[in-house]
A and B are shown apart, each in its own frame.
Chain A
Amino acid sequence: MAKQFSLFTKGKSGGIDLSSHFEKWGWISFLTYVTEKGLFDISGNSKTKLENTKAAKLYDVLIWADERSDYEMAITAYQEKLYQK
């Protein structure tokens, strides 16, 4: 799975390769990352952020994470270009 979604692969612009981190921490760090972003939080349903994230649909979480990863890599690439100038 780590190789299947762009979130977990090192981008061409030199993005962070999280694969070794996942080796050590399993998927806990990914759960933490998604929970911290709070996108799948539903306010007022008496569940914690963590519970709401866990209850989210797998497809939604992975697609969101995939898009975020691509976006962050594009920003990183842009910043690297600026730095080189």
Chain B
Amino acid sequence: MQFIFKNKTYAIPASLAQITLGQRIDFEEQYGKQISERETAIAAMDEGADKQIEQTMYHMELLCSSFAFFSGIDIAEVKEHIDLTKLCNLFLPCFKQLFEQQQEVGLQTTYLWNDEVWELASPELHYTSTMSFNEFLTAKQVVKSLYDLGEGNWTVLQYLCAIFLRKNEEAFEEYFATPESERFKLMRTLPMDIALSVAFFLTSSSKAWLNNSPYLQKENQEVLI
């Protein structure tokens, strides 16, 4: 969505496809800690008018931060020169749409991105599955190491996208999951709708693998008997 501010044209995203994973990571780095601290402080407050006021103020600040971040206008300028009512009326529906779209992300096995077909494996693990032990291990190790280092979820997702989202018929290579690799860097430019699909794929995979374990099936039968 485009708009003019001080005789200059700016744009803010109106769909997840217009936001990159890199932008999401940068937003988290810039505001993540602040958001989390504020949310914790509000959650600890006693129910009542004060808490409601604090929540409203927090939502307004979040709107200003998001608007400033995605438009590229300095946050101080946003707070000083942009009417909050106009901001709510015009841009809140845009951001709301992004959140709604996020809830509707589903699983696809192929994606068209950068004029190439990219694929995700089927989440079901069975004898025809081509997923290698190495990609699973690399993903597990990368996630563990990053969480040990205190990295955020979106950075972790960049690594997981580099591991699991691949070009048609392309085999997994360990260097995909290294910060220096071109593949890893490319994943910063991945649109958020595809990035979230990778996250959805990983959640679905975990559930499918649970159903696939003969041992667990046996356990369930024993419980039923």
Residues of A within 8 A of B (CB): 1, 4-6, 9, 26-28, 30-31, 34, 40, 53-63, 66, 69-70
Contacts and interface: CB of A to CB of B under 8 A. Distances in A.
B125 A62 contact: yes
Contact of B125 (A27, A55, A56, A58): A58
A55 B210 contact: no
Given A55-B132, A59-B126, A26 B141 contact: yes
Top 9 nearest A-B pairs (CB, nearest first) are A6-B215, A54-B134, A26-B144, A27-B140, A58-B131, A61-B133, A58-B136, A4-B210, A56-B133
A1, A5, A28, A59, most chain B CB atoms within 10 A? A59
Contacts of B213: 4-6, 66
B215 to A, nearest CB: 4
B135 interface: yes
Interface string B206-223: 100110011110000000
A81 B74 CA distance: 73
Interface in B103-133: 125-127, 129-133
B134 A1 contact: no
B4 interface: no
Nearest to B129: A59
Given A1-B140, A53-B133, A56-B133, 13 more contacts: A1-B206, A4-B206, A4-B213, A6-B213, A6-B215, A27-B141, A27-B144, A54-B132, A55-B132, A58-B125, A58-B133, A59-B125, A59-B127
5 contacts: A1-B206, A4-B213, A5-B213, A6-B213, A69-B215
Nearest to A26: B144
Contact residues of B: prevailing secondary structure: helix
Contacts of A40: 133
A76 B96 CA distance: 57
A45 to B, nearest CB: 15
Interface string B134-154: 111100110011000000000
A1 B127 CA distance: 18
A62 to B, nearest CB: 7
Given A1-B140, A26-B141, A57 B215 contact: no
Contacts of A58: 125, 129, 131-133, 135-136
A66 B206 CA distance: 16
B215 A5 contact: yes
Contacts of A28: 141
A59 B215 contact: no
Nearest to B210: A4
Contacts of B126: 59
